[in-house]
């Protein structure tokens, strides 16, 4: 299931300027597919500026998101894999998953699959060292 929702929404790049840049780039596939609006990207950044780096879910992984009314047109997930980490505050991040949901309920199954992935140390480590799109899809295939 995760493989299906992430297919076409995975980017691998060397580095970004800062955490804000990582969110803008990570959200781009969802923006291009009209799953989110530009306002959603701005809302994710504003939310972190206001509340702090609550989007850090574990070492090397962040999941920026905002409220559905901030500009989601559908439900989707994208992944930005950075070869060189960016800092979210004091936390080093190489995996940026953007979550967009059109309502409060439609994303629960996807969120449960993501949480399963996020708790799997071996899979996270493989994602961090992966350099190839197909390799990433292969890792997330089991979720």
Query: How confident is the model over 12-40, as pLDDT tens digits?
Result: 999 999 999 999 999 999 999 999 999 99
90 three-state secondary structure: coil
Give the per-residue pLDDT at 127: 98
Catalytic residue among 24, 65, 81, 107: 65
Average pLDDT over residues 68-95: 96
Over 90: is that where the pLDDT of 87 sits? yes
Full-model pTM: 0.95
C-alpha 20/C-alpha 41 separation (Å) is 9
Q: Other CB atoms closer than 10 Å to residue 37's CB: what's the count?
A: 17
User: What CA–CA distances, in Å, run from 35 to 5, 44, 71?
Assistant: 12, 15, 9
107 is catalytic: no
Average pLDDT over residues 84-89: 98
Average pLDDT over residues 41-47: 98
CATH number for the domain formed by residue range(s) 1-141: 3.40.930.10
Residue 108 pLDDT grade (very low, low, confident, very high; cuts 50, 70, 90): confident
Give the per-residue pLDDT at 63: 97
96: Cβ contacts below 8 Å, ≥ 6 apart: 22, 23, 26, 61, 62, 63, 64, 79, 80, 82
């Amino acid at each position: 299931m995760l493989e299906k929702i992430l297919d076409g929404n995975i980017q691998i790049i060397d580095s970004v300027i800062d955490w804000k840049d990582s969110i803008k780039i990570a959200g781009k596939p969802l923006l291009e597919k009209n799953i989110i609006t530009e306002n959603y990207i701005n809302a994710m950044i504003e939310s972190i500026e206001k509340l702090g780096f609550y989007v850090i879910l574990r070492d090397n992984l962040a999941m920026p998101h905002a409220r559905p009314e901030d500009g989601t047109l559908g439900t989707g997930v994208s992944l930005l894999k950075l070869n060189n980490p960016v800092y979210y505050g004091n936390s080093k991040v190489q995996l940026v998953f953007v979550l967009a949901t059109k309502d409060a309920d439609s994303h629960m199954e996807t969120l449960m699959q993501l949480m399963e992935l996020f708790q799997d140390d071996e899979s996270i480590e493989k994602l961090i060292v992966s350099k190839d799109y197909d390799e990433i899809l292969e890792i997330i295939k089991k979720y």
